[in-house]
Amino acid sequence: MTNAKPTSATKPKPWTEVATYLVDVAMGRKPADVVIRNGRWLNVHSGEVIPGTDVAIAAGRFAYCGPNAGHAIGEGTKVVDAGGRYLVPGLCDAHMHVESGMVTVTEFCRAVIPHGTTSMFIDPHEIANVLGLPGVRLMHDEAVAMPINVHVQMPSCVPSAPGLEHAGAELTVADVAEAMTWENIIGLGEVMNFPGVAANDPVMSGEIAETVRAGKTVGGHYASPDLGLPFHGYVAGGAEDDHEGTRAEDAIARVRQGMKAMLRLGSAWYDVAAQIKAVTEGGIDPRNFILCTDDSHSGTLVHEGHMDRVVRHAISQGLKPVTAIQMATLNTAQHFRLEREIGSIAPGRLADLLIVSDLAQMTIDEVYGRGLRLAKAGKLEVDIAAYDYPQSAKNTVRLGKKLAAEDFDIFAPQGANEVRARVIGVIENQAPTRALEADLAVEDGLVAMDRRNDICQIALVERHRGTGGVTNAFVSGFGYVEDCAMASSVAHDAHHIIVVGTNKEDMALAVNRLGEVGGGVVLYSRGKELALVEMPIAGLMSDERAEIVAAKAEQLTEAMRKVGCSLNNAYMQHSLLALVVIPELRISDVGLVDVTTFRKVDLFV
């Protein structure tokens, strides 16, 4: 089965077209394509592990699951001996952004299939912020071509906070209505504009209504610790899940209101441990809890894993393995109304299956998708053709001018010798920031950074329309001790360029370099380029292999350490500093934004 190549012929037909064939295989009247014998069936429906189980696969679906599939074995049947190992449903990532992996959908799939991910629910709102509806369509069509199930959620908030940022595009209610007719759209992506929902904003309510009319799932994103009336108004507006909780009480509140609590473990978001206590200590029913990653960069995917990593972590936090796997399989399938298709090993479902030798450690020996073996011993066994993105999806970084050090000057109020400034405070391993304040010196009329107290400069450079606009502010938490600057064209959600640095000359060099290569992330120190990850597709994704991108990302991480940054996955923290829908303080092309009040605020207090 090595080097099998998925083709249109291997795409499974709808159950309605093969049901009678599955019946014949289950009854022994026709042979199965594959029979896996002597497995320990992890049954997510009953919560049992059932030894001595055979499964018969035909037409890319499970036909028989029981004690003896000998009757389904014919001359052409491939027989696999599981040798008493566990038969586990293929894992599902309920909420994620492919673009955060720095790679295309194709490369993302290549990276995660050996880790047991056979279904993904992707929200391409990153590319939507750059290219609009045509960008969503590009990723939708690429997803359809994959040998695993890659369902697409239509982005809901582009821009994420109207009036507080200007993205490269804007999506409307009509765009959402159109997308709901596409074959692979599974629902509406995270509705980040939670104040808009609570205020009955017509765009938000219109998009949600179109999704509900289409019978699809509405994704949530309530990024506030306030569980009072705004939260209740948001839930009443139609959101069906939420991955922005960070506390046990957040998960409990969502489940009590009929939502699914999505618990994420990404490259930089560690939100499972605190919230899973709602189940392990609070006794809350786990059926409404779902595991996801949200954002994982290529280094995490290649070196640490994907949903197997999340399940392993959830088990380490006290969940029974069966319960953790339910949260990454059946619970997800039920939420997206796909229980008859994915999420379990049961007749009629797509034959997405893992052979696992150690359940608690999620040691995955073999991965099957739609009845085809896709990976063995951590190695991909299928060829997935590269997806060719058109030129219109590239060359999207438009600076309008060559940046100079002076563009990052912050002028003090007339006559001031010192200023009290607002400072964005990074919180390690979490998406929220803190709204800090600091007293900063003034030198020759310019406000100085305070490297000794870990306060350096941040700037957002407009890159969609070539206005040359620069917003300057301060940030704390990266720990840079050398002259340096890191710039990224990945800057959720509007995806302008964010540059953080201790040296204005390096800041200018870093931004200009991204203009030359069409986007990505780059680190300079004292005029020298230390690391570069090129991302020419919308300034968000590389067109190289995932392992190559991961190597470049590792070089970036090491270079950041050398200039003093010890944060876990600091690049991910960097990329969220302009996300004006998550408290407390952010930067945008409009200015500095207080996300607790959703208002622009002055840099100086």
Query: How confident is residue 1, by pLDDT bands cut at 50, 70 and 90?
Result: very low
C-alpha span between 298 and 341 (Å, rounded)? 29
- Judged against a pLDDT cut of 50, whether residue 5 lies above it is answered with no
pLDDT tens per residue, range 321-347: 999 999 999 999 999 999 999 999 999
Q: What is the largest CA-CA distance in the chain?
A: 91
β-sheet bridge partners, residue 127: none
Which pLDDT score, from 0 to 100, does residue 4 have? 43
Question: Whose CA is closest to 300, among 18, 563, 572, 576?
Answer: 572
More confidently predicted of 550 and 206: 206
More confidently predicted of 432 and 484: 484
Which pLDDT score, from 0 to 100, does residue 15 have? 96
Which pLDDT score, from 0 to 100, does residue 284 have? 97
The H-or-E segment that residue 300 falls in is: helix 298-303
- Judged against a pLDDT cut of 60, whether residue 2 lies above it is answered with no
DSSP assignment letter at 406: G
DSSP assignment of 140-153, as one string? HHHHHTSSSEEEEE
Least confident of 353-357, 500-504, 543-547: 543-547
Would you tell me how many other CB atoms lie within 10 Å of the CB of residue 550? Answer: 23
pLDDT tens per residue, range 44-102: 999 999 999 999 999 999 999 999 999 999 999 999 999 999 999 999 999 999 998 89
- Find the mean pLDDT for residues 397-418: 97
Query: How confident is residue 10, by pLDDT bands cut at 50, 70 and 90?
Result: low
pLDDT tens per residue, range 292-316: 999 888 888 888 999 999 999 999 9
What are the tokens at 497? Answer: 């360029």
Using a pLDDT cut of 70, give the percent of the chain over it. Answer: 98
Which pLDDT score, from 0 to 100, does residue 7 have? 44
Please list, residue by residue across 522-540, b when 16 or more beta carbons sit within 10 angstroms of its beta carbon and e when fewer do.
bbbbeeeebbbbbbbbbbb
Which pLDDT score, from 0 to 100, does residue 251 have? 98
CA torsion, ordered 93, 94, 98, 100, to nearest 10 deg = -90
User: What φ, ψ does residue 54 adopt, rounded to 5°?
Assistant: -110, 150
- The mean predicted confidence, pLDDT, of the chain is 95
- Find the mean pLDDT for residues 413-422: 96
Query: How confident is residue 11, by pLDDT bands cut at 50, 70 and 90?
Result: confident
pLDDT tens per residue, range 124-142: 999 999 999 999 999 999 9
What's the start-to-end Cα distance of the chain, in Å? 66
Please list, residue by residue across 197-224, b when 16 or more beta carbons sit within 10 angstroms of its beta carbon and e when fewer do.
bbeeeebbbebbbbbbebebbbbbbbbb
C-alpha span between 91 and 267 (Å, rounded)? 18
- Find the mean pLDDT for residues 149-166: 95
Question: Whose CA is closest to 440, among 427, 459, 461, 421?
Answer: 421
Which pLDDT score, from 0 to 100, does residue 219 have? 98
Report the phi/psi class of residue 218: left, alpha or beta, with left for phi > 0 and alpha for psi in -120 to 50.
beta
Would you tell me how many other CB atoms lie within 10 Å of the CB of residue 156? Answer: 29
On whether the CB atoms of residues 510 and 501 are closer than 8 A, the answer is yes
